[in-house]
Amino acid sequence: MKVPNPNTPFPLENYNRLCFLKNIIKNPNILVGDYTYYDDFEDVNNFEKNVKYHFDFIGDKLVIGKFCMIASGVQFIMNGGNHLTESISAFPFAVFGGDWQDAMCGKSYPSKGNTIIGNDVWIGHDATIMPGVKIGDGAIIASKSVVTKNVEPYAIVGGNPAKLIRKRFEEDKIQELLRLQWWNWSIEKITANIQQLTGENVSDLKE
């Protein structure tokens, strides 16, 4: 059986602007599943540059599932970009030290937790994902969207802020896909179901 090797950084021969993302990530707080790919118009190393405000001392994680498709220009804004919003001033005085170094004593900057991207998620060109957002399995994020809230499984969202355009399937089919979790099947079983996975009938998938 000849299938792509998920541990190969560049699975397409003579093309180095698409990579299986987990193989090029250096930041231990970015976790990526097998076969998730990133396609960049210039350089795949732009991916980590586009994970913004991701500071080690905060410790938040970007977690991306298996078989995701991430287009060029996608940005993830992490919790290090958050400022105080309930205080009189949003200015980060403490960052500049000196007589301002204790400005945050007894206080903390807001954090919305880890950013979680499910499995089989397609994120379109130049989309932006805000801190702490959770995107469900099978969702599609339209190009140029700004995702500020959680996205349900198999939803298509778009706009700024991103709103639901439609669901990809009827609810009973979505629940069946979430039960099957095909992305966790063996690669042999996935390969045996390739025709079904590229079809439209959930009932055709062979368990």
Residues tagged active-site? 83
CB 78 within 8 A of CB 52: yes
SS3 69: strand
Rounded Cα distance, 14 and 12, in Å? 6
Stated length of the chain: 207
Rounded Cα distance, 141 and 124, in Å? 6
Measured in degrees and rounded to the nearest 5, phi and psi for residue 27 equal -75, 120
CB 173 within 8 A of CB 157: no
CB 53 within 8 A of CB 80: yes
Cβ-Cβ contacts under 8 Å for 150 (sequence gap 6 or more): 133, 134, 135, 136
CB 158 within 8 A of CB 165: yes
